[in-house]
């Protein structure tokens, strides 16, 4: 590893400096902070996840309750709580988490070890945990759990300034560093996550041993001449820099690829950068659902073969979508290319957001692109969002992304300001040339007009880069996996201080370099006509089918709006499709309306809703793909 430690060339503007006030995301963020986080904590209480720490500390009698990776769920909710406190300050929540952290510290063994499934009764552990520490890393999540702890501890420190949780994490990381390494135990976790946590500890503390350890765990994967490897399911079939195809468990893969991108940036490791870019191309060209969801197979929660993209039986775990968001954000920070934010946006609005109900306390684990009203696609044999799962990674994961979402809106590199996501709100930031304030006014994703006021008190030279989504330029996905049938997508218009200017495009961004003083309004108009989408001919399950999109949203037909069997409907290429906003539907949503043909050839009216809000009105059929006629 290079002796020089670096970081990403582009830095996100922290969510603490950004406020989202729009009608689409703000209610979701507020619900996550004030409903999902406390709800998840209560579920962790009710299912014994929290009392496991009391038992490990000797404060309560009894055996370990639940699955050996349950510790991680509590850590994830603590991370979400840290972000929630900055969105919606809550003294009672802060006190509650401080009490939890005291439990974590009490459960930690003297040398830093923290894994309640073993500590409670080392002589009676689940055989999957292994008879001794580190003896079954392929399965036992021993390192995965603490990876989430590291992320939560850093988040808590950054949110509150308190080191109580950070000290627990650092003590554990010191133990891991003492045990694993080139001249020590050479092994890797079956489920990646510790690598991300270690990189975050490095960024927080500046101690390079954490980054070196993260790179060790990645470098060690696939090294069959040195250790028993765990296979493609765990992305442990080849050295990571030789991996070219996304394979195996999709969440594990996404966390690994995100961590590899961290190493590419922080260690300036070119071989890592080449590998992650190749893997990304493979995913978006051959293995990504229209919604951005990944992991087509129920078996192994895994990526399928190239172009294996079913609708009815697609798995597309919510956690896998979240991992993809983390990875795409990092790829943007590494390269400055908008195509990564295009995929992030598609995944965020569709494949991820469908995973959490509007109430903040119901969740899809599985996100198919069709439901026939019979196949119980969701985890634990259900067809609706559920309040909880025995394996609760998805309900606890969403609690840590949504409260921090504002941190994905803006980024900066030197005197360049990137506007990546469009949502009404404001931000304050410091560029090398001076302080600026930003205010967005928009109804996006319902409307394509975005007004951005930029205020600089003193005359200041800097560059603003507005992402022009690929869909507005005729390429909704940055590959040939999906394409729009509609040749006319409308025109992108940009006004600066009321005057129309030509688009000067750089890496997918309209670039405005000028001297700014006072308030300058930028007006961006993105085309928002409905698009008919088709899949690559090699996707056997989608041949002869068409889907509908508008802006960043994928649309679905649901039986609640369309009597009969929606899976049998066909849409003609020339049939008009119109947008209609319905303030009374699903919290206010823009629908698509048109006419289709049913199985008997009769013309019927149809209504399509955004895929992300399907499933709120009981069991029934749903489809994103229609027969193309």
**pLDDT value at position 4?**
59
Alpha carbons 330 and 486: distance in angstroms, whole number: 32
Alpha carbons 629 and 29: distance in angstroms, whole number: 40
Alpha carbons 201 and 148: distance in angstroms, whole number: 11
Q: 590 and 448 in contact (C-beta within 8 Å)?
A: no
Domain boundaries, given as residue ranges, for the chain: 12-216, 221-355, 411-467+491-525, 531-628
Q: For residues 158, 161, 166 and 167, what is the CA-based torsion angle, rounded to 10 degrees?
A: 160
Alpha carbons 15 and 17: distance in angstroms, whole number: 5
Q: 606 and 569 in contact (C-beta within 8 Å)?
A: yes
Alpha carbons 53 and 364: distance in angstroms, whole number: 28
Alpha carbons 246 and 179: distance in angstroms, whole number: 30
Phi and psi at residue 391, to the nearest 5°: -95, 105
CA separation, residue 374 to residues 371, 614, 619 (Å): 8, 16, 9
Predicted confidence (pLDDT) per residue in 80-128, tens digit? 999 999 999 999 999 999 999 999 999 999 999 999 999 999 999 999 9
Look at domain 221-355 and name its CATH class.
mainly alpha
**pLDDT value at position 380?**
85
Average pLDDT in the chain: 96
Backbone angle region of 275, left / alpha / beta, with phi > 0 → left and psi within -120 to 50 → alpha: alpha
Quickly name the fold that domain 411-467+491-525 has. Immunoglobulin-like (2.60.40)
**pLDDT value at position 378?**
87
Predicted confidence (pLDDT) per residue in 436-462, tens digit? 999 999 999 999 999 999 999 999 999
**Residue ranges of the chain with per-residue pLDDT less than 50:** 1-3
**pLDDT value at position 140?**
98
């Amino acid at each position: 590893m290079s002796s020089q430690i670096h970081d990403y060339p582009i830095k996100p503007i922290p969510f603490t400096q950004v406020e989202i006030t729009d009608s689409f995301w703000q209610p979701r963020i507020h619900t996550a902070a004030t409903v999902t986080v406390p709800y998840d904590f209560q579920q962790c209480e009710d299912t014994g996840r929290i009392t496991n720490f009391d038992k490990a500390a000797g404060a309560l009698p009894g055996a370990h309750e639940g699955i050996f990776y349950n510790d991680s769920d509590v850590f994830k909710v603590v991370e979400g709580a840290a972000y929630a406190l900055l969105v919606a300050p809550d003294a009672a929540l802060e006190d509650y988490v401080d009490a939890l952290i005291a439990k974590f510290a009490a459960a930690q063994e003297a040398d830093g070890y923290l894994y309640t499934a073993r500590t409670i009764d080392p002589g009676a552990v689940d055989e999957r945990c292994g008879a001794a520490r580190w003896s079954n890393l392929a399965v036992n999540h021993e390192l995965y759990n603490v990876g989430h702890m590291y992320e939560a501890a850093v988040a808590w420190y950054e949110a509150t300034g308190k080191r109580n949780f950070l000290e627990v994490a650092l003590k554990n990381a010191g133990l891991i560093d003492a045990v694993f390494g080139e001249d020590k135990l050479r092994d890797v976790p079956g489920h990646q996550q510790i690598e991300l946590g270690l990189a975050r500890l490095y960024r927080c503390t500046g101690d390079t041993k954490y980054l070196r350890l993260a790179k060790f765990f990645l470098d060690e994967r696939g090294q069959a001449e040195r250790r028993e490897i765990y296979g493609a399911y765990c992305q442990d079939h080849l050295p990571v820099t030789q991996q070219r195809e996304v394979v195996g468990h999709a969440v594990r893969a996404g966390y690994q690829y995100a961590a590899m991108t961290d190493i590419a940036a922080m260690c300036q490791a070119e071989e890592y950068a080449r590998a992650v870019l190749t893997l990304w191309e493979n995913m978006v060209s051959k293995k990504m659902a229209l919604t951005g969801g990944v992991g087509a197979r129920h078996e192994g929660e895994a990526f399928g073969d190239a172009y294996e993209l079913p609708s009815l039986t697609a798995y597309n775990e919510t956690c896998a979508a979240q991992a993809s968001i983390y990875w795409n954000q990092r790829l943007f920070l590494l390269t400055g290319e908008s195509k990564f934010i295009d995929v992030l946006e598609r995944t965020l609005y569709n494949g991820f957001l469908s995973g959490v109900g509007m109430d903040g306390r119901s969740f899809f684990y599985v996100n198919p692109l069709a439901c026939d009203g019979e196949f119980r696609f969701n985890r634990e044999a259900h067809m609706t969002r559920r309040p909880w799962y025995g394996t609760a990674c998805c309900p606890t994961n969403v609690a840590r992304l949504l409260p921090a979402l504002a941190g994905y809106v803006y980024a900066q590199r030197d005197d360049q300001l990137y506007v990546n996501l469009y949502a009404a709100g404001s931000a304050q930031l410091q560029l090398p040339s001076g302080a600026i304030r930003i205010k967005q006014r928009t109804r996006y994703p319902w409307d394509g007009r975005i007004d951005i006021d930029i205020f600089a008190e003193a005359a200041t030279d800097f560059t603003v880069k507005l992402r022009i989504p690929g869909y507005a330029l005729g390429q909704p996905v940055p590959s040939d996996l999906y394409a729009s049938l509609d040749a006319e997508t409308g025109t992108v218009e940009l006004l600066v201080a009321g005057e129309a200017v030509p688009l000067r495009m750089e890496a997918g961004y309209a670039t405005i370099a000028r001297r700014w003083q006072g308030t300058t309004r930028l007006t961006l108009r993105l085309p928002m006509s409905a698009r008919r989408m088709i899949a690559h001919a090699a996707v056997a399950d989608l041949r002869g089918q068409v889907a509908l999109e508008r802006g960043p949203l994928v649309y679905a037909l649901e039986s609640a709006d369309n009597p009969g069997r929606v899976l049998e409907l066909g849409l003609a290429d020339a049939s008009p499709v119109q947008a209609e906003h319905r303030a009374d539907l699903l919290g206010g949503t823009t629908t698509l309306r048109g006419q289709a043909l049913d199985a008997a050839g009769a013309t019927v009216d149809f209504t399509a809703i955004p895929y992300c809000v399907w499933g709120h009105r009981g069991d029934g059929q749903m489809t994103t793909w229609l027969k193309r006629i």
